[in-house]
Amino acid sequence: MTVSASRRALAGLAALATALAPAPALAQTGAAGGLNLTAIALFTTVVVGTLFITYRAAKRTQSASDFYTAGGRITGFQNGLAIAGDFISAGAFLGLAGLVYGNGFDGLIYAVGYTTGLPIVVFLMAERLRALGRFTFTDVACTRLQEKPIRIFAASASLVVIAFYLIAQMVGGGQLIRLLLGLDYLYAQFIVGILMICYVLFGGMVATTWVQITKAVLFLIGGTVIALLVMGHFGFDYGALLRQAVSRHPRGEAILTPQFLSRDPVSAISLGLALMFGTAGLPHILMRFFTVPDARAARVSVFWASVWMNYFFALVFVIGFGALALVAKNPAYVNAAGGLIGGGNMAAIHLSHAVGGDLMLGFISAVAFATILAVVAGLTLAGATAVSHDLYASVFRRAGASEASEVRVSRYATVILGIVAIGLGIAFQNQNVAYMVSLAFSVACSSTLPLLILVLYWPGLTTRGAVAGGCVGLGTALLFTVLGRPVWVGVLGYATPIFPIDPPTIVTMPLAFLVCYVVSVTDRSPQARIDHQRSASIGRTAPPVPAAAE
């Protein structure tokens, strides 16, 4: 697609978004009853603004490396904000506030868990990944192991993880649009899906990086303002805030301390594992370490990322309980049955209206929506990369794949992923989004993470061991998720799950490591000898001369 064609299409899309916003014909009401024109106007402005950034960035997307990793031109501080932006997703903000609203401190377990993921990536992997000079986890694995089977496995695992993560964002985005514009959930899903496809198609990673930065800054400001307003409401006395929250929740004082951990300790530790180590297996997070010029900038960027991200998760302590204190039992925000209008993920959005009126509602909705679009775009891009770079260019069309055809396949993959995302968003529409994110983490923990750790740290790993362990981990994680609470009870509607541990990480992650190990040490194939030779020559001491021009 030529740049001018994409420019025209994007301008058309922006016009469409503007045209759509003021004319929602369907029944449901906005947050405060009736359509909220102030909020919608502000919302449209911010969303069109981010589209404009994408459009500007599109003009600079020249080569495949621009499309994937912003050409390595982003500074450390900027990249730190972008990494934080990846984490401060709809899952974080809407989902966590919703979890705290529903379950009290149990929701904060997720908030605390999310903050432990990035440090693990930094301490154990970032350095080694960069030193290998490869920009997806698959490329790293291929420096040591046989390319074809590894790429096929890695692309499949990435796509599954991305699918779970996408569900969370799509559900959050759909509920938000439904609440704000009064549209039917189905139409809301299509709007989210189409906008997301356009982001990636016309901008690539440059756009998603800049959108992430813009949105991270807006979100940090918005979150801070809401937290300050909430605290101001209670005379900056956190104890007073909690007292009111306790009075509004049916379980009373129990919400001030973790509950489900002691009810099901095995699942608790399993969840802890998934939250802590899952991040390291997320494909779209790993890509970010390659958008800065050098290792020093990469380290600086992760420091800033951890500062902003952890600050944001700390804000959830105020925002989550603030929603409970100010939104629960308020007839403007809950329906006759006592549930939140617009669904359980909308607690933070209602809170923004409760403390800041229509303007704050519009602003926070817009930033949350831009967040969702950007995270979804980043995910889709990672998925499209898996298809075009791992499957198409390296496996199926090895000899003849030109850079242009790879970018073209990547664009087709983006469209298909967008359509799949819309379907999944509709299937999982009643799930809490922070919970869905934890499922993505659990799959990542059991499939990509064991491979990555072993490739970086254990020279004995062979191709056969890696593929066997990875497939067992991926397969069992997926199977137990379907047979466990999330799908068996949540989507299919059965009363009790077949597999009791939710998430299944505590079983599937050690299993993946074990299979990798056992198959590797018993592997006597000719390929195993090649693997050992290659790891002896590159693996541990110096970075290899990167085999460019593949």
Partner 1 sequence: MTVQISPPSVADDKIGRPGLGLALTAILIVFYFGFVGLGAFAPAVLARPLVEGGTVTIAFAYGLFVIALGVALTGIYVLVANRAGVR
Least distance CB 538 / partner 1 (angstroms) = 11
Least distance CB 52 / partner 1 (angstroms) = 27
Residue 338 burial (CB count, 10 A): 9
User: Rounded distance, CA 251 to CA 406, Å?
Assistant: 55
Q: Answer yes or no whether residue 48 interacts with partner 1 by CB under 8 A.
A: no
Residues 324-353 that bind partner 1 (CB under 8 A): none
Cβ(479)–Cβ(501) below 8 Å: no
Contacts with partner 1 by CB under 8 A: the residue count is 77
Q: Answer yes or no whether residue 71 interacts with partner 1 by CB under 8 A.
A: yes
The residues pairing with 300 across neighbouring beta strands, listed in sequence order, are none
Residues 188-247 that bind partner 1 (CB under 8 A): 238-240, 242-243, 246
Residue from the set 13, 88, 96, 122 that interacts with partner 1 by CB under 8 A: 122
Show the binding pattern over residues 377-396: x = contacts partner 1 (CB under 8 A), - = does not.
------------x---x---
Question: What CA dihedral angle connects 449, 455, 457 and 461, to 10 degrees?
Answer: 110
Q: Answer yes or no whether residue 543 interacts with partner 1 by CB under 8 A.
A: yes
Q: Answer yes or no whether residue 130 interacts with partner 1 by CB under 8 A.
A: yes
Q: Which stretch binds partner 1 (CB under 8 A): 45-53, 284-292, 479-487, 508-516?
A: 284-292
Q: Answer yes or no whether residue 491 interacts with partner 1 by CB under 8 A.
A: no
User: Rounded distance, CA 95 to CA 255, Å?
Assistant: 17
Q: Answer yes or no whether residue 144 interacts with partner 1 by CB under 8 A.
A: no
Q: Answer yes or no whether residue 127 interacts with partner 1 by CB under 8 A.
A: yes
- Phi/psi at 501 (nearest 5 deg)? -85, 125
User: Rounded distance, CA 175 to CA 205, Å?
Assistant: 26
Smallest Cα–Cα separation from 219: which of 343, 344, 115, 85?
A: 85
Least distance CB 227 / partner 1 (angstroms) = 13
Q: Answer yes or no whether residue 535 interacts with partner 1 by CB under 8 A.
A: no
State which amino acid sits at residue 276.
M
Residue from the set 32, 152, 217, 269 that interacts with partner 1 by CB under 8 A: 269
Least distance CB 236 / partner 1 (angstroms) = 13
Q: Which stretch binds partner 1 (CB under 8 A): 193-201, 313-321, 428-436, 490-498?
A: 313-321
| 305 vs 361 by CB, closer to partner 1 | 305
Q: Which stretch binds partner 1 (CB under 8 A): 23-31, 81-89, 305-313, 428-436?
A: 305-313
- Cis status, amide bond into 265, omega within 30 of 0: no
Q: Which stretch binds partner 1 (CB under 8 A): 169-177, 216-224, 301-309, 418-426?
A: 301-309
Q: Answer yes or no whether residue 252 interacts with partner 1 by CB under 8 A.
A: no
Residues 402-431 that bind partner 1 (CB under 8 A): 402-403, 406
Residue from the set 137, 290, 392, 488 that interacts with partner 1 by CB under 8 A: 290
Three-state SS at 340: strand
- Phi/psi at 539 (nearest 5 deg)? -20, -65
Q: Answer yes or no whether residue 483 interacts with partner 1 by CB under 8 A.
A: no
Residue from the set 115, 169, 462, 535 that interacts with partner 1 by CB under 8 A: 115
Least distance CB 542 / partner 1 (angstroms) = 6
User: Rounded distance, CA 325 to CA 314, Å?
Assistant: 17
Residues 153-192 that bind partner 1 (CB under 8 A): none
Q: Please, where are the H alpha helices in 447-525?
A: 448-457, 463-483, 505-521
Q: Which stretch binds partner 1 (CB under 8 A): 43-51, 63-71, 464-472, 501-509?
A: 63-71
User: Rounded distance, CA 277 to CA 300, Å?
Assistant: 22
| 185 vs 313 by CB, closer to partner 1 | 313
Smallest Cα–Cα separation from 53: which of 346, 337, 373?
A: 373
Three-state SS at 334: strand
Cβ(141)–Cβ(451) below 8 Å: yes
Least distance CB 50 / partner 1 (angstroms) = 25
Q: Answer yes or no whether residue 103 interacts with partner 1 by CB under 8 A.
A: no
Burial pattern 89-103, b for ≥16 Cβ within 10 A else e, equals bbbbbbbbbbbbbbb
Residues 438-457 that bind partner 1 (CB under 8 A): 457
Question: What CA dihedral angle connects 215, 113, 481 and 369, to 10 degrees?
Answer: -10
Q: Is the dihedral of CA 141, 143, 145, 150 positive or negative?
A: positive
User: Rounded distance, CA 360 to CA 43, Å?
Assistant: 10
